Structure 1
Amino acid sequence: MVASANLAGPSGEKKLEKKPIKFSNLLLGASLNMFEVTTLGQPLEVVKTTMAAHRGDGFATALGRVWSRGGVLGFYQGLIPWAWIEASTKGAVLLFVASEAEYYARSFGANEFGGGIIGGITGGVAQAYATMGFCTCMKTVEITKHKMAAAGVKPQSTFATFMDIYRKDGIRGINKGVNAVAIRQMTNWGSRFGLSRLAEGWIRSATGKTEGEKLGPWEKILASSLGGGLSAWNQPIEVIRVEMQSKKEDPNRPKKMTVGNTFRYIYDNNGIRGLYRGVAPRIGLGIWQTGQDLCRKLTGDKVTAKH
């Protein structure tokens, strides 16, 4: 898809190489993302969203609430098709755009840390507006629509709910909270990629590797895990996103929710702790996603559209 190119650096420095983005690599990346979300990824997402929506719940209470919605299957609400759509398009949108943006940032003089941040921000925003807006909205609706079940009425199917929202509010309704999603994605992936690059530098220093020398598989996984875990600093944006997309009824909620008035609503009702509800499973999710690095190494096919 993209031709290889080299940019010559100062004498003695390793050249910046632009690697080709192969369809087979994107397909492999999509498959591994599907595996990640179908195993532990979606259960962690469900618990995280439940805690963000029910901010008085602790971790154990949230687990019980999810279990009460259908046992083991309760932890997989929103998996099909929304989480699968989001996971399968991650490589084609986020990682492809991030890879291109990081390369061009580096070609204009950015270092690894800065290039990683620019790539993550650009890729995160692209994914948010291309696919994640309606995917996260529908996942959150699935996880938080408990009013009908509590009243003894059988909840609507996923697609019936989707069509109801579309008939009532159109595309804007389906993409409700997309601006919060974009802010979360740009801060999440920007800090994740940047912090991963920073961690790689720390690991090189600790192991005596020179600049540009490749890290081993487990060293890369450690760097990615640190980046994924530390990137959870922006959990308030995630809680705001969940609240904006939630279907729960509360007369005190703002009629027309924006990022700003939703922040104020959560802070007034739950304080700072409320803004960080769900951060533990969020950290676990960030670390779990880095297991894909090891899978890619074991397949013997390096995904070039990857960070």
Structure 2
Amino acid sequence: MISSERAEELMQEGWKRADLHVHTTCSFDVLPVRELHPESLYEKSLDLGMDFVTFTDHNTVNAYELLGWDREKLVPGVEISIRDMKFAGHALHVNVFELDKEEFLELREIAKIEPDLKNFIGYLKRHRLPFMYNHPFWFEFHQKQNPCAVPELAKLFPVLEYNMNELKQKNEATIALAEKFRKGIAATSDTHTGQLGKVYTLAKGENFREFFRNIEKGKSYIVPEDLTREFLIEEMNIWIDLIFEKSQKNRDIKTFLTGIKSLDTMVRISRSALLSCSPKLNRTAMNLLYMISNTGIPASFYLYSEESLARKIGKKMEIEKKDKA
């Protein structure tokens, strides 16, 4: 881990940087607003000086259908969900890079019709596609947590993710796994609000393949951040702005659902007939939500629940270790 100041020095020496986990409007849980369209985020990435630009939307490569597959610094990517309940016991999210449309369709078929993780990874290796294990200690809300399986799963991946939206305890556990099994680490924003490049990974490489290979070998640096109260307040305020200001003229938002109750509730409020017809009332509702967000209470509550969850995961893993011993 290095500071952004040290990263700037390394970039002057030829090191390359990339944020390897970014979502656009092509993801189901990203608001359909202009600022989050693939074209807008592509231009933003170039403006930020990213050496490689990739978009990893949920189970879709539509961003590349919109942008084109061959543009300057663009690396086709996708985040694929695979539910191998027999081997893994829960759903995994895997980022895959440098794939084409045919490879994506074949991978999606494996993930949906034959959800066999080893077969899935076997395909990635045969096709020499770079891939990464996203947020290893994250579990879908409706599924049983299976943290004891994570170390065995981590062995199958060349790179593990240090995710800005995860607690420090979870990211530290991921780093411990990477050190134990000699895996690479990539720091990512996993942004759904256009805040790409807040964290990133540095490595050398004349092309993306060389860049990623150096990450696999541990010849890389990360500029990380962890989930904090201040970050959550900022993120919630961005969502409020996107929902009440940026998306007011976009009809598609009516059917938008993230699965996050608080965000979906805000969308429903903003789309109500009363607020839609009254700009003044809409502004009042928005300012009220800003006020609630800025108290830090929602952020503190979320952190408390996540920390409680992290402790439970830690206890489960300790019990598993004792049982094996």
**TM-score, structure 1 normalization:** 0.26
Higher helix share: 1
**Which structure ranks higher in relative contact order (CA pairs < 8 Å, sequence separation ≥ 6)?**
1
**TM-score, structure 2 normalization:** 0.25
